[in-house]
């Protein structure tokens, strides 16, 4: 969306018209606009009922039904709307610099009960522990100026994927079977590559990075990566590698082409490697992470080869970067990454790109705190994804308006005039209503 000479209201109307062009029936235009306005207006809850009250205060019940049907039952395509959002918003993100990164992550939504689609006892990042929650996997395109989620899908645990009764009740599409988060992430990356989206380095945290098949698939797509790994990951230090295949001796079995190790020739963990680096290997590097305050830490980098099951290969894995962070005052390194960024990349630039993963955390923070990403109260597959798509659409408008909105919490309240809510209105469950 260009800023142009229109008013903010005019730009919003043009933005919504763009979304309407891919959403199908003309009668969806009004609920689409109202839902996005409800998400952008201030309010503690961005579920359907309170949004109905603020967007149509004189006919809240009818508005409630309209929005509920639109988000919970409307047969419009999440993929088409998200594609239109990125078409309109990515130019605003790229106004000052190109896309630099594709960031995969997942986020959790604590939930009570067992009937909301995909709810299971699993790790919830928002709570920092195992609990009842839903988890969604997303892909964001980012640079240092901004970021936008371009793909978003619920993770369906095995217990849900194989439960026909619960699937049917929640409206899970027949073609959706069990997929790990790794498989969902790879599908999103492949779809983005096939769609010709602006390319960047793929950034993954240590929940995804240790999966060598995922890293190999990213490389096969021609994309570099910078991925978190665990401290026990084994590698061959610079200048070393597995032993070549055994020379063939006639009469002693079939020849082998497999690489070897022996008792004296073994890879080392990245943690052990870090502890044995000389003091001169460490460098204090400053980067920026979201705020204007510069952040500093100590890093080391070296060219290594991963050792993952290379005794089943005939050629060593290619060289890549191992990046290690060991903040001053810590007893041991805190983070490790593997990266296929070019051998010629500068040290500070390697750190800068690797650290750009904070952008997706900002996405989730704003989507949850400002736009109510986790506030959907329905139980179905379609509603869960429709609500998230509209949250991302509203977020996209904010991104496109970023240069005209003051950087304060009041920026959301100032977007639109807010209708007065009737004095008699009380949301369900409120103490006064009871």
Spatial separation of the C-alpha atoms in residues 385 and 118, rounded to whole Å: 12
Q: Which residues contact 303 (CB under 8 A, 6 or more apart)?
A: 238, 319, 320, 321, 322, 343
CA dihedral 68, 73, 76, 81 (to 10 degrees): 40
Residue among 78, 87, 38, 12 at smallest CA distance from 389: 78
Higher pLDDT, 84 or 423: 84
Sign of the CA dihedral 213, 215, 217, 220?
A: negative
Judge whether residue 409 has pLDDT over 60: no
Judge whether residue 176 has pLDDT over 90: yes
For residue 415, the model assigns a pLDDT of: 57
pLDDT tens per residue, range 88-124: 999 999 998 999 999 999 999 999 878 899 999 999 9
Where do we find the tokens 């239109």?
84
Q: DSSP letters along 90-141, please? A: HHHHTTSS---EEEEEEEEEE--SS-STT-EEEEETTTTEEEEEEEEEEEEE
Q: Give the range among 80-94, 190-204, 206-220, 289-303 with minimum mean pLDDT.
A: 289-303
Higher pLDDT, 76 or 404: 76
Q: Which residues contact 68 (CB under 8 A, 6 or more apart)?
A: 48, 378
DSSP state of 265: B
Task: Summarize the confidence of residues 38-66 as an average pLDDT.
Answer: 93
308: pLDDT confidence band, cut at 50, 70 and 90?
confident
417: pLDDT confidence band, cut at 50, 70 and 90?
low
Spatial separation of the C-alpha atoms in residues 289 and 144, rounded to whole Å: 9
288: pLDDT confidence band, cut at 50, 70 and 90?
confident
Judge whether residue 280 has pLDDT over 60: yes
pLDDT tens per residue, range 122-175: 999 888 899 999 999 999 999 998 899 999 999 999 999 999 999 999 999 999
For the chain, what's the residue count?
A: 434
For residue 290, the model assigns a pLDDT of: 53
For residue 156, the model assigns a pLDDT of: 97
Judge whether residue 428 has pLDDT over 50: no
Residue among 166, 160, 74, 90 at smallest CA distance from 122: 160
Query: β-strand 201-204 against 225-229: which pairing, if any?
Result: parallel
Q: Give the range among 73-82, 256-265, 344-353, 373-382 with minimum mean pLDDT.
A: 256-265
For residue 384, the model assigns a pLDDT of: 97
């Amino acid at each position: 969306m260009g800023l142009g000479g229109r008013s903010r209201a005019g730009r919003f109307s043009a933005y919504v018209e763009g979304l309407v062009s891919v959403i199908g029936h003309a009668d969806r235009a009004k609920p689409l606009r109202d839902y996005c306005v409800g998400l952008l207006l201030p309010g503690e809850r961005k579920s359907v009922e309170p949004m109905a009250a603020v967007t149509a205060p004189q006919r809240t019940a009818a508005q409630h039904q309209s929005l509920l049907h639109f988000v919970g039952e409307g047969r419009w395509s999440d993929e088409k709307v998200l594609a239109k959002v990125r078409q309109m918003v990515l130019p605003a993100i790229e106004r000052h610099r190109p896309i630099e990164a594709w960031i995969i992550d997942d986020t959790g939504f604590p939930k009570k009960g067992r009937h909301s689609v995909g709810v299971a006892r699993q790790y919830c990042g928002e709570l920092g522990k195992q609990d009842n929650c839903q988890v969604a996997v997303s892909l964001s395109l980012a640079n240092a100026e901004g970021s936008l989620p371009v793909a978003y899908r619920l993770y369906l645990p095995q217990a849900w994927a194989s439960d026909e009764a619960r699937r049917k009740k929640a409206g899970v599409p027949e073609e959706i079977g069990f997929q790990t988060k790794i498989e969902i992430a790879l599908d999103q990356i492949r779809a983005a590559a096939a769609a010709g989206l602006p390319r960047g380095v793929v950034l993954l945290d240590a929940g995804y990075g240790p999966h060598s098949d995922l890293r190999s698939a990213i490389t096969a797509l021609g994309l570099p990566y910078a991925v978190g790994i665990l401290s026990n990951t084994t590698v061959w230090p610079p200048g070393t590698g597995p032993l070549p295949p055994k020379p063939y001796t006639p009469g002693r079995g079939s020849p082998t082409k497999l690489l070897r190790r022996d008792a004296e020739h073994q890879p080392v963990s990245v943690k052990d490697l870090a502890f044995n680096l000389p003091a001169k290997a460490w460098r204090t590097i400053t980067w920026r992470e979201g705020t204007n305050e510069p952040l500093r830490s100590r890093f080391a980098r070296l060219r290594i080869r991963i050792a993952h099951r290379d005794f089943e290969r005939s050629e060593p894995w290619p060289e890549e970067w191992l990046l290690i962070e060991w903040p001053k005052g810590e007893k041991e390194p805190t983070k490790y990454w593997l990266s296929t960024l070019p051998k010629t990349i500068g040290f500070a630039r390697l750190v800068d790109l690797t650290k750009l993963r904070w952008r997706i955390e900002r996405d989730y923070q704003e989507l949850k705190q400002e736009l109510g990403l986790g506030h959907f109260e329905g139980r179905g597959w379609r509603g869960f994804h429709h609500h998230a798509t509209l949250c991302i659409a509203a977020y996209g408008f904010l991104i496109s308006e970023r240069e005209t909105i003051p950087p304060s919490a009041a920026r959301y309240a100032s977007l639109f005039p807010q209708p007065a809510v009737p004095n008699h209105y009380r949301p369900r469950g409120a103490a006064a209503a009871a």
